Amino acid sequence: MAEYRAPVKDMRFVLDTVADIDGLSKLEGFAHVESDVVDAILEEASKFAGNVLSPLNKPGDNEGSRVADGVVTTPKGWTEAYQQFVEGGWNGVSAPEAFDGGSLPQALTLATVEMWNSANLAFSLCPLLTQGAIESILAHGTSAQQKTYLKKLVSGEWSATMNLTESQAGSDVGALRSKAEPAEDGSWRISGQKIFITYGEHEMSENIIHLVLARTPGAPAGTKGISLFIVPKYLVNEDGTLGKRNDLKCVSLEEKIGIHASPTAVMSYGDNGDCVGYLLGEENKGMACMFTMMNNARLNVGVQGLAIAERAYQKAVEYARERKQGQAPGMAKGEMAAIVHHADVRRMLMTMRAHVEAMRCLIYLNGAALDRAHHGADAEAREKAMGLAELLTPLSKAWCTDLGVEMASQAVQVHGGMGFIEETGVGQYYRDARILPIYEGTNGIQALDLVGRKLSLQGGEPVRDMFAEIAVTVKQLGEAGDDMAAMSVQLNLALSALKDATDWLYSNAPNDPNAAPAGATPYLRMFATTVGAHLLGRSALKARALLQEGAEDTDFLKAKIITARFFMAQILPTATALLGPVMDGPAMLFAIDEEQLSA
């Protein structure tokens, strides 16, 4: 089975065309991100992903992680790969230079994150959680906490986790029961049990910094009474060296349907009454602190959906070009054609390809918006960019992870019966992808966030701006004529339907508490698909312009236009068709009573 090959050319095209990496390099703090630096980073990351991480993916899935007496053993080669990852400086590429990071734009960093996850999703979960902890401590930590933890986390010498979930409190975080009692020295004593803790215990890094949600004495009920604590696996001495083992342990590892190599731990804190934690941010403001980490993680989980779809697509194309079965039209009797020549297989491959390219555009645009939100020239520009980033985040997380599952399923289908056999390896992508729509806020929660918060964000300005941008693409495609004109028609129909759906939500949500939730999921799908089409339209216009200028890479550029045409013609109409489900309201959902559901 061929190893993963990073689509560097496509990544660079999207960085240039959609993320405007050249424009990002002109922002304060990014002057070092010159064109040759971007090329070098993409090239070196692709080598590491393809040569080091990808070969470990299937063996790691077969071996899995194991726990004995609280000690977790990751698969063979995992620790060595992690050390190479750290030594290569990949763990801290986006972190501030002040903490020994690379200070790279998020848009470029996300391209490397895509590579890690395409090559080996289970491995990549470890640095993903560390990045979120870095963000949280940067945003909410004291100067002493930043000095103690950040450089080690940035380097990757220490890793980190996020501890929210408890057995009785899944998505309802406010129901958690873990406790934090104040100690005389200003620290806290943490007690409780957390489940589903990714890389909660392992031996790859010297220390693990757990960020743990817990309740302090007298805290209000629900999410308003939650605080966030830094809980190190090994306590850190004043000189930065590691001290004694903290009172925490891994009780067990979850038996999962996928990501077997990633140790998903049940963690117990304070069994002996001496688990030391340190308040991060303000007391009872833990959710605000944790959301800094979660928002980082949600975008990165969206990248995982893109990444697994890309890897599944590569595997499906490889198989379709090699597998011979049946005859293609015009072939002589007795001859067999590679299945890539069959129309339905082409439909599946083009569906995968078009979705992957649309997802990549959305994700990189989201990252670039975050870059401009933090590094923009003035407050107005930064606020505008943050509005776009916040609008796009639920789209990136939910749409891309749903598609990660769907495109992995398509890859299994391309393989036919062999896709259901573990030997081919394509089934692992499907199993690994299935967690993505669930963790870091289920996709239903992302849809509720979109209709409940993001539509009204900044008075609705980010939504209006996005609609205006799509309208510009509609106009430009129409003016380009020829094969672009048909794309303009389809995109305009989708935009019109999306506007109608949005207006309906604005009008009906205040009057019926179930109106927006009932249509939230189809609305998110509708919104994201339309944005994806808009971005592919922009890509097609750029590809056409380059062809007209005499660019040499004609096959690549022509494929960009063809892929955009396919998306507009065969995928985008599904977004327009979602107008009915969005506006149908909640009555049909509750027409059948609870007992009838099981009748």
Known catalytic residues are 440
Backbone angles phi, psi at 255, to 5 degrees: -90, 110
Please name which of 320, 318, 319 lies closest in space to residue 342, comparing C-alpha atoms: 320
- In terms of DSSP H, where are the helices of 156-285? none
Distance CA 472, CA 467 (A): 9
Backbone angles phi, psi at 314, to 5 degrees: -60, -45
The residues, ordered by sequence, that sit 6+ positions from 304 with a Cβ below 8 Å of its Cβ are 117, 121, 124, 128, 400, 401, 404, 433, 436
Please name which of 565, 497, 576, 493 lies closest in space to residue 536, comparing C-alpha atoms: 565
DSSP secondary structure, 327-387, as one string: --TTPPTT---BGGGSHHHHHHHHHHHHHHHHHHHHHHHHHHHHHHHHH-SSHHHHHHHHH
Distance CA 406, CA 248 (A): 39
The encoded tokens of residue 575 equal 């977004």
Half-sphere exposure of 557 (CA within 13 A, CB side): 15
3-class secondary structure, 468: helix
178-183 long-range contacts (CB < 8 A, ≥24 apart) are: 178/212, 178/213, 178/214, 178/215, 178/269, 179/214, 179/215, 179/216, 180/214, 180/215, 180/216, 180/227, 180/229, 180/277, 180/279, 181/216, 181/217, 182/216, 182/217, 183/276
The encoded tokens of residue 33 equal 């991100």
Tokens 């060296």 label which residue? 241
Please name which of 412, 394, 407 lies closest in space to residue 521, comparing C-alpha atoms: 394
Distance CA 41, CA 33 (A): 10
3-class secondary structure, 19: coil
Find out whether 390 and 396 touch, Cβ atoms under 8 Å: no
What residues form DSSP beta bridges with 198?
264
Please name which of 34, 33, 44, 55 lies closest in space to residue 8, comparing C-alpha atoms: 44
3-class secondary structure, 244: strand
Distance CA 480, CA 500 (A): 27
